[in-house]
Amino acid sequence: MSQKIVFMGTPEFSVPTLESLVNSDHKVLAVYSQPASKANRGQKIIPSRVEVFAKENSLNLRTPDSLDNDQEYNYLKKLEPDIVVVIAYGKIIPKKFLNLSKYGFVNVHASLLPKWRGAAPIQRSIMNLDNETGISIMKIVEELDAGPVMHQDKIQINENVDSLTLSKVLSKLGAKSIINAIDEIVKGKARFQEQNHSKATYAKKILKNEGRINWSQSAKKILAKINGLNPNPGAWFEYKNERFKVWKAEIVDKNSDAGKTVDDQLTIACNEQSIKILEIQKEGKSRQLASQFLLGNEIKEDTNIY
């Protein structure tokens, strides 16, 4: 049965779910996304990926700075949606809005709730060395990511996956599950289970200074940081007062003093084992394979990297 849908989302992660809804029997009444943002120190205005998709598909787009006003409340109320689907919208939805749709607001969240509520579940899951993650479909309540869950899909995480790759996998998983979830809700077959709030953990927003590599940690922990912060903001180290971003690396079973190179191929000792850098980017320069970088930047064995 076709339902009237309002969609709320912003980044690339949200697009597959919106596309899934557009290609279904349901009618997308409106798409909400965050306003276009300034990039490169304000030189250019960049629309969100959801805004781009909405315009390309002639969808009814709204990009308010805030929902907490009478104009947006009355507009959504007038639409009379059956259900509102939210995925990585990035703005607070006022409590009074939650009663404006027949079946409520449903959120697709990129973790196995109650673990990793909050802004950066994919990055935190990788950086925490979790061996599994997934998506949760839940009903939105006033408290952040604390609503009852009706469906979860689990996947395994290996130590070499980065945030960008995992994000693409999870976004497709959410897009695949949302149509069935809506059908279950409409038919009255959905079973929403309260989360175990005592086991909740929080995926706080990633800060740029978290990207600094501490070579006194284990190689596994450092690789998890490199992968978890790829592509943004990136893991980095300083050498000769210049910053270097590490895009890709692998663990090597060699040992030395933490922070010291164990060869002339950019393999750096950690507290346990070593990290061999495979792709690197000097600040202000382009991303390179380590082998290309070393052609013009000799770093010998037993060099201290800070």
Digitized pLDDT (tens) for each residue of the chain, 306 residues in all = 899 999 999 999 999 999 999 999 999 999 999 999 877 665 788 999 999 999 999 999 999 999 999 999 999 999 999 999 999 999 999 999 999 999 999 999 999 999 999 999 999 999 999 999 999 999 999 999 999 999 999 999 998 999 999 999 999 999 999 999 999 999 999 999 999 999 999 999 999 889 999 999 999 999 999 999 999 999 999 999 999 999 999 999 999 999 999 999 999 999 999 999 999 999 999 999 999 999 988 899 999 997
Architecture of the domain spanning 208-296: Roll (3.10)
What pLDDT score was predicted for residue 306? Answer: 75
How many Å apart are CA 85 and CA 33, to the nearest integer? 12
pLDDT in tens, 68-113: 999 999 999 999 999 999 999 999 999 999 999 999 999 999 999 9
- Report pTM: 0.94
How many Å apart are CA 5 and CA 24, to the nearest integer? 11
Pairing of strands 235-239, 132-139: unpaired
What pLDDT score was predicted for residue 1? Answer: 82
Q: Which of 224, 245, 251, 235 is nearest to 162 (CA)?
A: 224
Residues of the chain with pLDDT > 70, as a percent, come to 99
The answer to whether 231 and 299 are in contact (CB under 8 A) is no
* Residue-averaged pLDDT of the chain: 95
Alpha carbons within 13 angstroms on the beta-carbon side of residue 46 total 12
Backbone angles phi and psi of 31, in degrees to 5: -125, 125
Pairing of strands 132-139, 105-109: antiparallel
- Name the CATH superfamily for 4-203: Formyl transferase, N-terminal domain (3.40.50.170)
Give ∠ CA 175-180-185 in degrees, rounded to 5: 120
What pLDDT score was predicted for residue 40? Answer: 62
Where do the structural domains in the chain lie, given as residue ranges?
Answer: 4-203, 208-296
The answer to whether 28 and 17 are in contact (CB under 8 A) is no
The answer to whether 182 and 3 are in contact (CB under 8 A) is yes
Burial 219-251 (b: 16+ CB within 10 A, else e): bebbbbbbbbbbeeebbbbeeeeeebbbbbbeb
Rg (CA), the chain: 22
